Amino acid sequence: MTDAASATASKKELFIVFGGKVTDTRGRDFVDPKNVDVKGFFDSYDDAMGAWRAASQMKVDDAFTKFVIVRLW
């Protein structure tokens, strides 16, 4: 692998969007961590944000359901 190719590969990012019921609306402690709703893995923050918005809007009336974006690398 060339230096340019390895630099490009090292800049690759990966995000996951998931959520579920939380014990406190101000926190991130999930009621049932084994059953979180995984919306998917995304290679750009913009795509992850789109999935997060869609998932969050579907549960907008449930204050105890929270979705998050986590950068894996």
Return the domain boundaries, the chain.
10-71
Closest CA to 14 of 52, 66, 69: 69
Mean model confidence pLDDT for the chain: 90
Structure tokens at 28: 């991130």
pLDDT tens, position by position, 25-44: 999 899 999 999 999 999 99
- Judge whether residue 6 has pLDDT over 60: no
Q: How confident is the model at residue 8 (pLDDT cuts 50, 70, 90)?
A: low
Distance CA 57, CA 61 (A): 8
Q: How confident is the model at residue 10 (pLDDT cuts 50, 70, 90)?
A: low
Model confidence, pTM: 0.81
Strand partners, 22: 30
Q: What is the CATH number of domain 10-71?
A: 3.30.70.2400
Residues near 62 by Cβ (< 8 Å), separated by ≥ 6? Answer: 21
Classify residue 64 by its DSSP letter. T
- Judge whether residue 7 has pLDDT over 70: no
